[in-house]
Structure 1
Amino acid sequence: MALRPIVMFPDQRLRLVAEPVTCFDEALRSLATDLLDTMRAAPGIGITAPHIGIAQRVVVLELPDAPEPQTYVNPEIIETSKETVRLKEGSISMPGVVGPIERAACVCVRYQDLEGAEHIEDAEGLRAACHQHEIDQLNGLFWTLRLSPLRRGKVMAQFEKLLRR
């Protein structure tokens, strides 16, 4: 249980595609615990191993309406709805700024737990958006790339202003 340094935008490690997890051991469970502690301290509601500089396909979510945090190993979206929602998103790697992102309203995610067992989860609303956001990050796609060019420029200007303070 340790807080890990967060990789800050525009660090190029955030653009790397994370590698699949193949070893389900104590080191993986420790990573998941460190991710949760780091996310809570940030604060945030989702974090990936790449956010702390580890190029592995691990996500931790702790959503306001969930009874407990959830760890997703090797998650992949296997189905999306045609219906979309627009929610404000941000990143612990770019604190202080948010922007509206349109995503599928519902997704079906296949993942493994910390023991390696496979699961399938249907998600909607905020949970669906979080899955898409964090899986994008595992694929090296930082959230700002989902913004329109105009909106991205505004978010970048706002972030640069925050950095100068």
Structure 2
Amino acid sequence: MNQITSSLKDELIRLVARSSMVAECCSYSLVLVVLEHNVRESLEKEIQNNEIKLINVSKSLSQRIVSLSIKERIKRLDVEFEEIVQECNENIWLTKLDLLFEPSLKADPILLLKWLSKSQPIVAIWPGQIYDKTLVYAKPGSEDYRTYSLQELKDIQVIKACNGVIK
């Protein structure tokens, strides 16, 4: 790993810790970390070496709901997601959230994350980008395309790392 990524990782961990403290005073104890795709993968590997447990949400959740009918998956999604998060200690980061965007599950990923963060602090690595003042998942026209105005997310902490700079 190069020094830029290592220093970015250290800065990101410090900023997430600070943002988590701020989030404790908000309605939702949720911190979203938005990283460029090429940085996300290498940082996730490095972050795991820092006593932070990364939870692959798509993998964990799919293992729990794969045998259920579509209707049951929709009904059980929030309960199964909550159990995954509650089984872990507090020093976890959620990653690979893509399954939450699966159209057949009829879920709103941000609402799910907000709901979970009312009972315990959540740090989630967002699998998309920020364009202008909008949090985006997927490309326009995709079935799983989602956008959220940063204004409507003002009650959560959002950290953006772009070109090696954290904002």
Q: Normalization by structure 1: what TM-score?
A: 0.30
Could you say which structure has the greater relative contact order, defined with CA pairs below 8 angstroms and 6 or more residues apart? 2
Question: Greater strand share, 1 or 2?
Answer: 1
Question: Greater helix share, 1 or 2?
Answer: 2
